[in-house]
Amino acid sequence: MIKMYRYSVYLCSLFLLCLISCQTKNMIKPPVAQKKPFQLTNHDTTRIDPYYWLKEREDPEVLEYLKAENNYTENVLKDTEELQEKIYNEIVGRIKQTDMSVPYFSNGYFYYTRYEEGKEYPVYCRKKGSLDAEEEVMLNVNEMAEGFEYFDVGGISVSPDNKMIAYGVDTVSRRIYTLYFKELESGKILDENIPGTIGSASWANDNKTIYYTQKNEQTLRPEKIFRYVLSSGSGSELVYEETDETYYCYVYKSRSRKYLIIASTSTVSDEYQILPADDPQGKFKVFQPRERGLEYSIGHVGDKFYIRTNLDARNFRLMQTSLKATSKENWKEVIPHREDALLEGFINFDRYLVIDERIMGNTNLRIINMDSKEEHNVDFKEKVYSCWISVNPELSSDVLRIGYSSLTTPTTTYDYHMRTREMELMKRQEVIGGHDPDQYRSERLFAIAPDGKEVPVSLVYKKGTPLDGSSPLFLYGYGSYGNTYDPNFNSVRLSLLDRGFVYAIAHVRGSEFLGREWYEDGKLLKKKNTFTDFIACAELLIENNYTQTDKLMIYGASAGGLLIGAVINMRPDLFKGAIAAVPFVDVVTTMLDESIPLTTGEYDEWGDPNEKEYFEYMLSYSPYDNVEAKAYPNLLVTTGFHDSQVQYWEPAKWVAKLRDLKTDDNLLLLYTNMDAGHGGASGRFKQHKETALEYAFLLKLLHKDE
């Protein structure tokens, strides 16, 4: 009897311990950010921002809050750690460890990038004259990156005599680079270096003079062009300063290697200045003075400049002019404007002109023989695809290097022989473990927006995936700056597709997927079209049984994070889960603060909130300002502490406000990478740790542990 009693007590104690353990696990409480009301008054409107204090980057309380949020996210997702590791290993396992890019020939050398097994960073190499020649390692970034949490090399530029390189290094992820110079024969890195640059330099033809762009330390706006003569001891000489805060400037060298070019660009206007590269001490000449609304870009070949411009051409046209008379009244039309085709770019060769144009969402490459004027299009077999002009440094070549991809076809490099029209396969991205494109299917649908516009949706799924509403769906969106997210292959995505997900891209307004008008209808006072387009795409996918609301996941980054924030305010009932990466969510406050990096240059994209009409419109959709006391979908928000594009405090404030007001018990997680910026972690493997975390979050919502 006594034994029975003791055994009963033991069972009871065990039960209580289990109960306490379970309750403790379920009682993980999220951090609560302290409220410190801060008053903001504009246009007779007063806003109270209780989390404005999170802007104080050096404040220990801010750092403690971000750390607490990271700990909370880690604890909530602790039960997915094995899954995260599994997904990470899947993703990394598909990457070819020892790999090499297709070499390209430039000024007597073949250049290529290779990767070594187990190493995070590239090795930049070249061979003189022949691929059978001895390899020269220009930079081994793996060795350079030792001891750094973040390391990025940008803008490698070789001197005309092939003896030296200039390159930029960023060890913070703030996109501020220090320029270094290395003698290639001896391997010596010069003692002289230049901090505070955009990371690239352009060589004059004397092999000792370089031009570079410096950033404003506070706003990070590229604003000054300097001339620097190596080993002269004379220091840098300012040659141009962009005083208009809505413009950025940079300097580069023409493909012909004949001209140094200073570009000043804004959202709606451009201006270029040119200088013969043989005259490094000369004075730059304005190509065509800036005019508001006049966009153009230039390319040089032979005795002509070619100009892509929107002059009397919404979808752009191509012009040409002589070297001596470059202003717009001297431009002569080469390719006329078309309503059904957006002229996205061009590239000149001595004998050929290649036109990059977008027609009904797909990119078309048009080849024109400049002697015979005969033209043809490069033929691609798939209906939903992406192609682009790759690295083509030699103007005398008859071979066009191009890239190709689709939602089912891995990235492929071709050499297209423009004279014979033969397509030569140079490389197709290898997916380790095997990838059979025939096992996947891609489609394009069209959703109907509230104003009747047809919004394209590209999607891919593995054959056999049920299309009866039972499958989870991952919907991606961006829709800003005219940036078009093409339907490309990504081996990372296979970790979702092979688990039964449908993957879809909403080609919403704000991109140029359907031409320039498609972009203009998704900016300024038409910005809300971006959000309603996305919602229409989500509703279409549900109506057509690709998924259901309780399995619909959405994702957006940067301005795409703004999209996510806006749509979950507008239709929180439509989505099971959302991921907002480095999200631009505090639109009004940010755009009113000219001290924040990259603000003034954005006025022609979002509007200037110093004007009441734009202030009120932006305030009507700004995700942070429109958080309400209601139920929201499960949400994972990621950011980088050193982000130079969208400051970390925007997502931090947003999460704090959502925590305070939302009425549901759904997950709300914030993860701040304290060592990274807008692009996340550096390194080809390390970056996928965050991807694995995101995918595990989605699978947790679906109660899938594999």
Comparing C-alpha atoms, which of 161, 255, 234, 155 is closest to residue 201? 155
Tell whether the model's pLDDT for residue 15 goes beyond 50: no
- Write down the pLDDT at residue 13: 38
Q: What is the pLDDT of residue 259?
A: 98
Helices (H), 29-97: 60-76, 81-93
Token digits of residue 213: 């762009």
Given a cut of 90, whether residue 17 has pLDDT beyond it is no
The two tokens of residue 249 are 């400037």
Distances (CA, A) of 39 to 51, 59, 249: 11, 20, 35
Backbone angles phi, psi at 322, to 5 degrees: -80, 165
Per-residue pLDDT at 10: 38
Per the CB < 8 A criterion, the answer to whether 208 and 230 are in contact is yes
Number of helices (H), then strands (E), belonging to the chain: the values are 13, 38
pLDDT of residue 393: 96
* Residue 87 DSSP SS3: helix
Pick from 308, 319, 453, 459: nearest CA to 383: 459
pLDDT at 216 over 80: yes
pLDDT single digits (tens) 277-307: 999 999 999 999 999 999 999 999 999 999 9
Q: What is the pLDDT of residue 706?
A: 67
Least reliable range by pLDDT among 10-14, 89-93, 98-102, 699-703: 10-14
Question: Residue 241's beta-bridge partner residues?
Answer: 224
- pLDDT band, very low/low/confident/very high, at 383 (cuts 50, 70, 90): confident
The closest alpha carbon to 84, from 493, 693, 497, belongs to: 693
Token code pair at residue 231: 């080993």
Neighbours of 142 (CB within 10 A): 17
Q: How many CB atoms lie within 10 A of CB 521?
A: 21
Q: What angle do CA 284, 312, 304 make, to 5 degrees?
A: 40
How far, in Å, CA of 507 to CA of 361, rounded?
9
Q: Give the count of beta carbons closer than 10 Å to the beta carbon of residue 46.
A: 9
> Going by C-beta distance under 8 Å and a sequence separation of 6 or more, which residues neighbour residue 501?
461, 465, 471, 472, 473, 474
Q: Are 192 and 176 in contact (CB under 8 A)?
A: no
Q: How many residues does the chain have?
A: 706
Per mean pLDDT, which range of 8-12, 519-523, 668-672 is the poorest?
8-12
CA distance 114 to 99: 6
Which phi and psi (to 5°) does residue 173 adopt? 75, 30
* Distance between CA atoms of residues 621 and 534, nearest Å: 14
Q: Pick from 644, 641, 562, 653: which is nearest to 605 by CA?
A: 562
Q: Please, what are the domains in the chain?
A: 97-147 (no CATH), 149-294 (2.130.10.120), 435-547 (3.40.50.1820)
Judged against a pLDDT cut of 60, whether residue 4 lies above it is answered with: no
> What whole-number distance in Å separates Cα of residue 69 and Cα of residue 49?
20
Residues β-bridged to residue 414: 402, 425
Extract the runs of DSSP E, i.e. beta strands, from 469-592.
473-477, 502-506, 552-557, 577-581
pLDDT over 70 at 18, yes or no: no
Amino acid at position 693, single letter = L
% of the chain exceeding 70 in pLDDT: 96
* Whole-number pLDDT of residue 101: 96
| Mean pLDDT computed over 618-640 | 97
Buried b (16+ CB within 10 A) or exposed e, 151-165: bbbebbbbbeebebb
What's the CA gap between 397 and 104, in Å, rounded?
Answer: 12
What is the reported pLDDT for 521? Answer: 98
Residue in this structure with the two tokens 């703030």, named with its chain if needed: 174
Q: Which are the catalytic amino acids?
A: 558, 643, 678
Is 70 exceeded by the pLDDT of residue 9? no
User: What would the pLDDT profile of 238-265 be if each residue is shown by its tens digit?
Assistant: 999 999 999 999 999 999 999 999 999 9
* pLDDT single digits (tens) 71-111: 999 999 999 999 999 999 999 999 999 999 999 999 999 99
Residue 211 backbone dihedrals phi, psi, to 5 degrees:
-115, 140
Cα(first)–Cα(last) distance of the chain, in Å? 47
User: Is the distance from CB of 153 to CB of 139 less than 8 angstroms?
Assistant: yes
3-state helix, strand, coil in the chain (%, to 5): 25, 35, 40
Question: Residue 572 in contact with residue 558, Cβ under 8 Å?
Answer: no
Instruction: Quickly count: other Cβ atoms within 10 Å of residue 316's Cβ.
Output: 25
Which tokens go with 440? 């996947």
pLDDT at 12: 40
Q: pTM for this structure?
A: 0.91
Determine phi and psi for 535, rounding to 5 degrees.
-60, -40
Alpha helix positions (H), 382-521: 494-497, 516-520
- DSSP-derived secondary structure letter, 55: G
**Residue 446 phi, psi dihedral angles, 5° rounding:** -135, 120
Contacts 24+ apart (CB under 8 A), 507-510: 507/361, 507/455, 507/456, 507/457, 507/458, 508/455, 508/477, 508/478, 508/479, 508/533, 508/534, 508/537, 508/563, 509/449, 509/453, 509/455, 509/479, 509/533, 510/478, 510/479, 510/480, 510/481, 510/482, 510/559
**Percent with pLDDT over 90 in the chain:** 88
Mean pLDDT of 226-237: 93
Tell me, rounded to whole angstroms, the distance of Cα 184 from its chain centroid. 32
Q: How confident is the model at residue 7 (pLDDT cuts 50, 70, 90)?
A: very low
* Angle, helices 688-701/81-93, rounded to nearest 10 degrees: 130
d(CA 367, CA 372): 12
Question: What is the pLDDT at residue 359?
Answer: 95
Whole-number pLDDT of residue 682: 73
pLDDT, one tens digit per residue, over 417-431 is: 999 999 999 999 999
The per-residue pLDDT of the chain, averaged, comes to: 93
Are the C-beta atoms of 180 and 189 separated by less than 8 Å? Answer: yes
